[in-house]
A and B are shown apart, each in its own frame.
Chain A
Amino acid sequence: MQPALAISQLNKTYEGNFQALKGISLEVHPGDFFALLGPNGAGKSTTIGIICSLVLKTSGKVSIFGCDIDTDFSQAKQHVGVVPQEFNFNQFEKPIDILINQAGYFGIPREIAFERAEKYLRQLGLWEKSHVPSRTLSGGMKRRLMIARALIHEPRLLVLDEPTAGVDIELRRSMWEFLREINARGTTIILTTHYLEEAESLCRNVAIIDHGKIIQNTSIRQLLQQLNKELFVLDTREQLDECPSIEGYPITLIDNHSLEVEVEKSQSINELFDALSQVGIHVLSMRNKANRLEELFFDLVEKNLSGEENDQS
């Protein structure tokens, strides 16, 4: 089976000799929900720009469902829908016109375009606003409009560059649901996001890019298995005047009713609870201190950074 996306030795050097991508290679399988993560300026948007031909690559190969973006650009473009980071539609046009025009650029007849536009605008809760100038839409609505526009030609690969940036939690959850649905219907999705919780919740596979290089490319599950330790916050029934000491579990007192405990992968949480009970502390609830993927992400990026510094020295 052809990969949904195959990138090989992709390089991009911008004017001024800034090397944004340093020979990255990547494969995304059909039907996958794939996260492309990385800090600001890592090369995520450049990669997406090249996939949807808004950025010219310096060298390397990119193919979408087997169609090379250089030699078979028309077919390759038919397969991709893109939701960019910035709003890039005509703010004076109405959502319905934006969608119908976009369909037209893909050669879709007007009647079919109208049916699809109505379908996607309804699915994304925008139908009521379909005939108002798009500049009057809220930020969240504008983001959903761009998702509808990207889907109007029913692409097999949907690329979303931080689609939920600046969107409130409730709306973000409903967008996640929508994306899960279209992924379940067979659309391959590549997502970049700063909300690592989003990647952990939605995606099956992940690549982490930093300084133009892929530093990790694996499944989310395997990536999380790399975590050696986790930080838990425990809420206690008893008021704590001083930090308890339990052998093998570094503990910090946060306030009179909360503790922060570092638990290694090989350690048992039951043993921790037992030990706490023995010193008269009962745990009412517990939670991860930070998102697990977030911890790992910072760890990997930090390691890459120190590696680069060593290379330079």
Chain B
Amino acid sequence: MTNLEKWIAFKTIVRREIQRFLRIWPQTLLPPVITIVLYFVIFGTLIGSRIGEMSGLPYIQFVAPGLIMMSVITNSYSNVVSSFFGSKFQRNIEELLVSPTPNWIILLGFVVGGMCRGLGVGLIVTVLSLYFADFNIHSLPITIGIVLMTSLMFSLAGLINAVFARNFDDISIIPTFVLTPLTYLGGVFYSIELLGDFWSKVSMINPVLYMVNAFRYGIAGISDIPAYWAFAMVGLFSVLLFFTALHLLEKGSRLRS
């Protein structure tokens, strides 16, 4: 395949992925938006007004970056896991497997498709959050950089989950029992300063904490953790996940018999 042909194959996968989540927007775009608006109403306006400040910020301004990041994480992950597993389940993944498209293009196509949904939902949530909270961007490069890398990392993780999944239960186990607890305990709703010394240290092994704090730093200029740690960690995980996913595709694990 020439480079132009590879580019066409890549664009085809990304376009198909975008068309997929736009076609089923009541399942893919609407629910996260409603969920996040409810979070803003309950934690930001109703409860937040009684909480007061967190790390020197009004509570609604404190939770807003975390809620945006939460929507990016869950949507990036769930788009790739459901789309790739759906393709396996309906066997239309075979359309790609019989084609000369290299595995790394297949991988990038699905991942970029997942990032488009994650970032798209993140953007919608950001626009909605402006209705509830005022905030200025402290550092645009950090904000955009960390959100892009986080979306990339969770899209890759979603693909690996989908490769291993044998049924629909397998694609909901990780989001329910791993992703949701990590996100809720990842400093979205509180600063780790509130935790005791021991639980603060335990929290440091949660990768979501780094991403949420780096994103909050980019927007509000405050963080429990230096932003460069977040970039290093997300970068390292992304590289590891990329090569793991590529290896699984090359091997044909659970794709080719």
A, B in one complex: yes
Given contacts A14-B257, A90-B90, contact A54 B1 (CB under 8 A): no
Q: Closest A-chain residue to B19, C-beta based?
A: A97
Q: Closest A-chain residue to B16, C-beta based?
A: A101
Q: Which residues of B contact A184 (CB under 8 A)?
A: none
Contact of A73 among B4, B19, B100, B252 (CB under 8 A): B100
What total of chain B residues lie within 8 Å of the partner, measured CB to CB? 31
Q: Mark B46-68, 1 if CB is under 8 A from A, else 0.
A: 00000000000000000000000
> Please, how many angstroms separate the alpha-carbon atoms of A92 and B22 in the complex?
13
Given contacts A74-B1, A74-B100, contact A88 B256 (CB under 8 A): no
Q: Which residues of B contact A89 (CB under 8 A)?
A: 90, 92, 95
Q: Is the CB of B100 within 8 A of A107?
A: yes
> Please, how many angstroms separate the alpha-carbon atoms of A88 and B92 in the complex?
5
Q: Mark A60-75, 1 if CB is under 8 A from B, else 0.
A: 0000000000000111
Q: Which residues of A contact B92 (CB under 8 A)?
A: 88-90
A209 to nearest B CB, angstroms? 18
Q: Closest B-chain residue to A15, C-beta based?
A: B257
Q: Is the CB of B100 within 8 A of A77?
A: yes
> Please, how many angstroms separate the alpha-carbon atoms of A14 and B9 in the complex?
31
Q: Is the CB of B2 within 8 A of A86?
A: no
Q: Which residues of A contact B95 (CB under 8 A)?
A: 88-89, 98, 101-102, 105, 149
Q: Closest B-chain residue to A86, C-beta based?
A: B91
Q: Mark A90-110, 1 if CB is under 8 A from B, else 0.
A: 111000011011101111111
Q: Is the CB of A107 within 8 A of B2?
A: yes
Q: Is the CB of A88 within 8 A of B94?
A: yes
Q: Is the CB of A84 within 8 A of B94?
A: yes
> Please, how many angstroms separate the alpha-carbon atoms of A99 and B101 in the complex?
16
Contact of B98 among A80, A104, A107, A110 (CB under 8 A): A80
Q: Which residues of B contact A108 (CB under 8 A)?
A: 5, 8
What total of chain A residues lie within 8 Å of the partner, measured CB to CB? 35
Q: Is the CB of A56 within 8 A of B9?
A: no
Q: Closest A-chain residue to B252, C-beta based?
A: A56
> Please, how many angstroms separate the alpha-carbon atoms of A77 and B101 in the complex?
9
Q: Is the CB of A105 within 8 A of B99?
A: yes
> Please, how many angstroms separate the alpha-carbon atoms of A77 and B16 in the complex?
22
**Interface-centre pick from A14, A54, A98 (highest chain B CB count, 10 A):** A54
Q: Which residues of A contact B4 (CB under 8 A)?
A: 107
Q: Which residues of B contact A288 (CB under 8 A)?
A: none
Scan residues 103-123 of chain B and give those whose CB is less than 8 A from a CB of chain A: none
Q: A49 at interface (Cβ–Cβ under 8 A)?
A: yes
Q: Is the CB of B99 within 8 A of A54?
A: no
Q: A267 at interface (Cβ–Cβ under 8 A)?
A: no
Q: Which residues of A contact B5 (CB under 8 A)?
A: 106-108
Q: Closest B-chain residue to A56, C-beta based?
A: B256
Scan residues 137-178 of chain B and give those whose CB is less than 8 A from a CB of chain A: none
Residues of A within 8 A of B (CB): 14, 49, 52-56, 73-75, 77-78, 80, 82, 84, 86-92, 97-98, 100-102, 104-110, 149
Known contacts A53-B98, A54-B98, A107-B6; can you find 11 more A-B pairs with CB under 8 A? A55-B257, A74-B100, A90-B92, A91-B90, A92-B23, A102-B99, A104-B8, A105-B12, A105-B95, A107-B8, A107-B101
Can you report 17 A-B residue pairs in the complex whose CB atoms are below 8 A from each other? A52-B98, A53-B97, A54-B97, A56-B257, A86-B91, A88-B91, A88-B92, A104-B15, A105-B9, A105-B95, A105-B96, A105-B100, A105-B101, A107-B5, A107-B8, A109-B8, A149-B95
